[in-house]
A and B are shown apart, each in its own frame.
Chain A
């Protein structure tokens, strides 16, 4: 049945543009909203004026106001090295730390500080963790996190590292299209072959699955981890900048604030064009000039067609690898915000010769699927007891052999877990180490594939050349991550293996970051208290304003009114400061002083209700954070905002 152990396992969609956390409630997965009532947490991290880390909606305004202190789409940098991101850096306003070197983990500047991509992702994960803990009123330490199906080993490892740094035990990484199919399959209870077309903010995946008797079996998967809504945005930004240079004679390519503002209007227009035939770009540039321009849907489609065309190749390859014709696909499912673009639907319809499904919320379906998987791992419930996920590795695994050629040892689209055993020997007398270069990719030459890591096998007993027989076992686990073990067979000794990940963090580095986060935990905790106290202060002050406009206010004595005014002033004075205890004290005092006012307001509200009004219109009812009597009157403002 449902959770018998006390702790819940949540499902997390760590997206390029938005992140979500969800869990299985009974027989359906549900998204857990944030404190602001929103389901989506923008994957934006910023430093506010007080050098505090802010995540999500609260961080968005800093993208425009102080872009050098904010970062978005960090997923594009996960598991990547300097050479990979050189191109990205031209289009994104990321600043790398000055001491960034080839072959080292990238660090991105945020104001004066610098963080690795996993650390920044960890801030987002921590926010989601807090949202879940607040919702359950209990700690949450276990999660399932989704990754693009086409993510390579380094990118997956980086995601796991981010989870650890955030204090989460990542029970499983699930591929996003597979997660979406879980949510879809649970919902529809269908059997057959489905194609999941997942176009998000930064990555594209196409997966072909067979659903039967509760088994979700991936047959083939393909994609592009460098393709998504961001590319559409960047294209439009480039065009706008060119336009502006022509019309207004201003070159804004180096102006971060201007680009950020243009980016916002471009995204608004893009979204509008999904439902309107025309939209307007309208932005005030630094310096006061205003740029306006109308875009028609037809023009937009013409511009972005080449970008969307890039999804066709992977789709065709996936069908080929699956040995299927488009006509043999039973259902096509759309996932990811970018699939709201009508042109995408047309494209998918053509590719798979049928109308694609879009009933599930493309922003939420991956998180919901992750919650289903979390449920399966936690022991399952009646709804999921027959469900099993059989996923595949998206890229072939190979080792570099003589001549710079790659020998493939595990082929792409092999069901995981998967393993392979290879044998090595030495070329020189007395050699005690052997180095193995492991790569991922489909090309024939090592230099054209993705370097994963170099394994150094040590402790080989010295022998004549060619005599040692080293058995190396490669295992890709259910997360799609590689593990290696080795043994020299003549001596029977386990060979010690040092893994040098080409693009990742070492275990030591991750441990340090976890410890740092503990050190900062106290500071974090204090900061959080301050932030939360200020939010409550705002609540009660806002409620007081309403109270003043309420007829009940007139029923107070002038002494009472004076006392309230004084305490209101006191709270206003202490609120901007850092002393959260003082703020709470002032809140409490104001609370006490306004008790009678609250009671009077409640009485009139109740008599109003008894006159036949609905309860929620009187403003009475439970609020998400309502420790004091004023909260009920506030309920329609605070908390549940409808999207």
Chain B
């Protein structure tokens, strides 16, 4: 979740004589979803035949059910474990897609069509998130109330443009190296502007990149280990243990993101 501040410019009309407004067709769109809602179960009574069910479709009459405010794990009827069998997830994804996709609702009521649209969007969002281990971890941490650093490039650029210091979380053991790297990157950028190449510099940068890539491999190994610990803690019902693991994962992801950005910066500098 991200709060984006829109200041005074929202008060002055940005359209300045453009075409008149078009009413959004999304009016019918406000569903039962609410912001902090992500933990409820799917259990409810079927709108069509009133049977008590706990899935996307009624077991008795087969009708699609309205979108429920469940998180991505629940959507796939999975526990909040970090190891997932991706092949099985894929199979389930295709199975649900065949039944939820709007193309299959060409001849149903408008309401069911709308529900299929929202549910298949959620299905696709959930699948996309859960099938990638890093995204899965980030999502889980978010569900568990942890905030991750805004390490994205756009956030960095935004800060740069606004002339602000972006909140940096430099992994301590890397402080010296990062300092040196940033100096070198700055040198390369200046050299590029004046048109001068520098083979020595390029080689040093390449060395740094390889070093960082090695660190990334290490980080991924650590993450893997934490995932296993997490799943174990979940099974044991170890809440305190999970709390500590959350912190470790957040830390690892922040580092990973930071180093990933460094690698990206070096790649950009080395190109062209």
Query: A residues near B, CB below 8 A?
Result: 5, 103-105, 171-172, 213, 215, 373, 376-379, 388-390, 399, 401-408, 414-428, 431, 433-437, 444, 454-456, 466, 469, 471, 473, 475-478, 483-485, 487, 489, 494, 497-502, 504-509
Q: Which residues of A contact B29 (CB under 8 A)?
A: 473, 475, 483, 485
Contact of A406 among B102, B118, B154 (CB under 8 A): B154
Bound form: Cα–Cα A498–B27 in Å: 11
Asked if residues B124 and A499 are in contact (CB atoms below 8 Å), the reply is: no
Shortest CB-to-CB span from A468 to chain B, Å, is: 11
Could you tell me the distance in whole angstroms from the C-beta of A466 to the nearest C-beta in chain B?
A: 8
Enumerate chain A residues within 8 angstroms of B127, measured Cβ to Cβ: 415
Q: Does B214 interact with chain A (Cβ within 8 Å)?
A: no
Q: Chain B, interface size: which category?
A: 35 or more
B225 sits at the interface (CB 8 A): no
**B207 in contact (CB, < 8 A):** no
A502 vs chain B, min Cβ distance (A): 8
> 1/0 per position for B1-40, CB-CB distance to A under 8 A?
1111111111101111111111111110110001100000
Contact with A along B144-160 (1 / 0, CB 8 A): 00000000011001100
Q: How far is the CB of B105 from chain A (nearest CB, A)?
A: 9
Q: Among the interface residues B6, B98, B154, which one has the most CB atoms of the partner chain A within 10 A?
A: B6
Q: Please determine whether B153 and A507 come into contact, CB atoms closer than 8 angstroms.
A: no
A-side contacts of B4, CB under 8 Å: 399, 401-402, 407, 422-425
Closest partner residue, chain B, to A5 (CB atom): B107
> Can you list the 9 inter-chain pairs with the closest CB atoms, starting with the nearest?
A498-B21, A427-B7, A485-B26, A403-B161, A417-B121, A485-B29, A419-B121, A377-B106, A506-B22
**Of B5, B25, B117, the contact of A417 (CB 8 Å cutoff):** B117
A454-B15, A506-B21 known; A433-B10 Cβ under 8 A: yes
Give min CB distance, B193 to chain A, whole Å: 19
Partner of A390, one of B8, B30, B97, B106: B97
* Bound CA span A502–B19, Å: 8
Cross-chain contact B5 with A427 (CB below 8 angstroms)? yes
User: When A and B form their complex, what is the total count of cross-chain residue pairs whose Cβ atoms lie within 8 Å?
Assistant: 189
Residue of B nearest to A477 (CB): B117
Write out the residue numbers on chain A whose beta carbons fall within 8 Å of the beta carbon of B15: 454, 500
Q: Are A431 and B20 in contact (CB under 8 A)?
A: no
Q: Could you tell me the distance in whole angstroms from the C-beta of B189 to the nearest C-beta in chain A?
A: 16
CB distance from B158 to the nearest CB of A (A): 4
Q: Is B8 a contact partner of A416 (Cβ separation < 8 A)?
A: no
Is the CB–CB distance between B117 and A478 below 8 Å? yes
Additional A-B contacts beyond A388-B98, A505-B19 (17; CB < 8 A): A103-B19, A390-B97, A402-B4, A403-B157, A407-B2, A422-B4, A435-B10, A444-B157, A455-B24, A483-B24, A483-B26, A483-B29, A489-B35, A494-B27, A497-B23, A497-B26, A502-B18
Contact residue among B3, B117, B121 (Cβ-Cβ distance under 8 Å from A425): B3
Contact of A454 among B14, B24, B161 (CB under 8 A): B14
Residues of A within 8 A of B125 (CB): 418-420
- Chain B nearest CB: distance from A443 CB in Å? 11
Query: Which of B3, B22, B124 is A423 in contact with, Cβ under 8 Å?
Result: B3
Q: Would you give 11 A-B contacts (Cβ < 8 Å), ordered by A?
A: A215-B98, A423-B4, A425-B3, A427-B10, A428-B7, A434-B6, A475-B26, A478-B102, A497-B24, A498-B24, A507-B23
List residues of B (102-122) whose CB comes within 8 Å of A's CBs.
102-104, 106-107, 117-118, 120-122
B11 touches A428 (CB 8 A): yes
Query: Is the beta-carbon distance between B19 and A506 smaller than 8 angstroms?
Result: yes
Q: Is the CB of A103 within 8 A of B17?
A: yes
Q: B101 at the A/B interface (Cβ < 8 Å)?
A: yes
B5, closest chain A residue (CB): A427
Residues of B with C-beta under 8 A to A213 = 94
Q: For residue A436, which residues in chain B have a CB less than 8 angstroms away from its CB?
A: 6
CA distance A500 to B13 in the complex (A): 11
